[in-house]
Amino acid sequence: MTPQDRIGALPIWAGKVRIDPLGGGITNVNFVVQDAVKKAVVRIGTDIPLHLILRANELAASRAAHSAGVSPAVLYHEPGVLVIEFIEGKTLTAADVRQEAMLDQVVALVKKAHQTIPLYLRGPAQIFWPFHVIRDYSATLDKGRSPHMARMPSLLEQALTLESAVGPIDLIYGHNDLLPANFLHDGTRLWLIDWDYAGFNSPLFDLGGLAANNDLNVEQEAHVLKQYFGRMDATIWPRYRAMKAAAALRETLWSMVSELHSELAFDFATYTQTNLATYETAFVAFQNS
């Protein structure tokens, strides 16, 4: 059975359906479906233990995020299938995120997600600790005899340094994958989508990931921290820099693992090198903070 056949057989459609591929997914396969009365996005994907992705966690996070007012509604689910409301709007690019007015909206939405999603979350909840993820990825790369293993002793040593520098954390419910394409703007407001990696974490990880994934400059980073925390002082900056580097390192190792194991048509080798360069720049900035 093809994904399209499976989607067409779902019991939620009214009348004839049109199924079109939707690009952009690199942990699942996505489609836009139009029936007689509604338009929806269908995400096809099972658990991915190598990336610590559990679809039950994604479902719970998606439902809570909708109840919190930050994400589209879940219309239907079954094992391996998640159907969500289609939002007519623009998928952001990094250049969009860097615009001052848009960046303010992004930070406000992220802060709202952090603070309100736990009020609606039900059932078991994941912890997303990036340094655990980094160590787990390293073990996966070792088992898979990755050509990147020669780098790992140095990267793991740096990760320990970063983890120590982060120190005690405030605990929020993080999205943990703030790529620009996970923000949609409908012309009036922003939406945050794709909750594959959601879990309790430090807010500094999402803020650092936002900066690393969207190439924010130092002035923009300082603005983001001041907007989020209501202040900017000497105690926040080095801890934030450490977590920003960790976010870039986690994305780099994610791509290295995907080089070995993903069956999706995506240039993971180039993505690895791009994120490795981002990480190296972030680590030097941390050292100089």
Q: Percentage of the chain surpassing pLDDT 90?
A: 92
| 171 and 272 assigned to the same domain | yes
Which residues form the domain of 35? 3-85
| 34 and 136 assigned to the same domain | no
| 135 and 62 assigned to the same domain | no
Domain boundary among 51, 85, 119: 85
* pLDDT digit string, tens, across residues 252-273: 999 999 999 988 778 999 999 9
| 70 and 103 assigned to the same domain | no
Residue 24 binned pLDDT confidence (cut-offs 50, 70, 90): low
CA angle 148, 269, 191 (to 5 degrees): 115
| 48 and 123 assigned to the same domain | no
- Asked if residue 284 has pLDDT above 70, the reply is yes
Q: Percentage of the chain surpassing pLDDT 70?
A: 99
| 47 and 97 assigned to the same domain | no
- Asked if residue 283 has pLDDT above 70, the reply is yes
| 98 and 238 assigned to the same domain | yes
* pLDDT digit string, tens, across residues 222-231: 999 999 999 8
Q: Does pTM top 0.85 for this prediction?
A: yes
| 21 and 142 assigned to the same domain | no
pLDDT of residue 54: 95
Domain containing 9 — which CATH number?
A: 3.30.200.20
pLDDT of residue 25: 66
Q: Considering its fold, how many domains does the chain have in total? A: 2
Domain containing 185 — which CATH number?
A: 3.90.1200.10
* Mean pLDDT of the region 29-43: 95
Residue-averaged pLDDT of the chain: 95
| 253 and 162 assigned to the same domain | yes
| 114 and 239 assigned to the same domain | yes
